[in-house]
Structure formats: structure tokens, C-alpha cells
Amino acid sequence: MNQAGEDRKIRDQLRGELESVVFHEEMQAAVLSRAAEPKPSWWNREVRIPTPFIAALLLLILAIPAYGWQQAHSMQTDMVAKNTGKDASQEERIIVSAAGVFYASQLEGENR
């Protein structure tokens, strides 16, 4: 086989291999048809949100109720401590005897 025949053979082989990716007419028609369609609406557009922003937002959403609950709890605790006497001292028993009137701790405690 001479050189020309060999070139043809290679060309045919190459054409055969590229046949599937050839930008044929049907494809061209499809591209043109799509290009003619209107642009996608704003509603369907995609936006890119940075991951740190999403993380911060999620953190805020969780932190607000947690902080609020903590505030509610501390308000209640403060009110109880200030106004209900739950931390007040126990009232002492008074002992009345012929030797005098004493607090129980004076009789039951040491050296008073």
C-alpha cells in the first residue's frame, strides 16, 4: 500500500471514531432552539451563600431562644432570692422557762 492509500485509511478510521461527537444538524437545531428560549426567572435563579454566613445564621437562630430562656430563668431566680426568703435564716425556737426566756440555740449550743 502506497502512502496515499494509507492516509485515506487513517482518515476513514478517524472519521469513524469521531462520528458520534460530530456537531450534527439535529444538535445544532437544539442549541439554537434553546438559545431562543427566554431567560430563567429571578425566582428560579440560583444564588450562592457563603458557608460561614449560613453557620453564623444557624448559630444565631439557636442562641436567641437559649439566651432568652436563660434570662427568664435568672429573672425568676433573682426574684425568688430577693423576695421569698428562701435563703433566709430559719426562725429560732423560743424556750420559756422559770430561769428565763431563751433561744433554743442558747440552751442547746455551746458557751453562750
Partner 1 sequence: MRLKVRTLAGMLATLLLLGVIVYRELPSLLYHTGYYQALLQWFPNDENARPAMNRLAMDMIQNLEGGETDYIFIRSSGGASSSGPSSSKRLAFEQRTAAIDKLEKLLTQYGHTQQTSNVAYRLALTHFWSGNWNRAEQLLREIDSRGDEGWFSSDELEKYLAILESRHHRAGEEASLEGVVRIGDKVVPNAFVYVQRADLTTYYSPPLTYYPATITDENGQYRFYNLEPGDYQIGVGVRKEQISGYYMTELEAEKTVVGGAATAVQNVQFVPQVIAISPARKEIIQGDELRLQWQPYEGAAYYMLNISSIHRDRIGKYSGATTTSISEDRFTGYEAVFSIRELNRDNNMIGKSYGQNREVTLNTAGLLGMLYPGGEFAWSVDAYDEHDRKLSSSAGYFLHEDAVTPIFRVAEADIQKGDRLVMEARYEEAIEAYKREGDNDHALRILARLADQGIGAEDGDQREALSYMERIQDPWDSDHTFMDWLRERISKQK
Query: Three cell numbers at 11?
Result: 482518515
Quick one: 95 exposed, middle or buried, by C-beta within 10 A (0-12, 13-18, 19+)?
A: middle
d(CA 83, CA 81) in angstroms, rounded, equals 6
Tell me: does residue 66 bind partner 1 (CB under 8 A).
no
Nine-digit cell string for 98: 422559770
Considering the rule CB under 8 A, would residue 51 count as an interface residue with partner 1?
A: yes
Task: Rule CB under 8 A: say whether 91 interacts with partner 1.
Answer: yes
Nearer to partner 1 by Cβ, of 30 and 64: the residue is: 64
Judged by beta carbon, residue 34 or residue 48, the one nearer partner 1 is 48
Q: Do residues 58 and 71 lie in contact, with contact meaning Cβ atoms separated by under 8 Å?
A: no
Please tell me whether residue 46 binds partner 1 under the rule CB under 8 A: yes
Q: Convert residues 25-44 into a mask of x (bound to partner 1 by CB under 8 A) and - (unbound).
A: -----------------xxx
- The site for partner 1 (CB under 8 A) is made up of 42-51, 54, 61, 65, 71-73, 75-76, 78-80, 82-86, 88-104, 106-108, 110-112
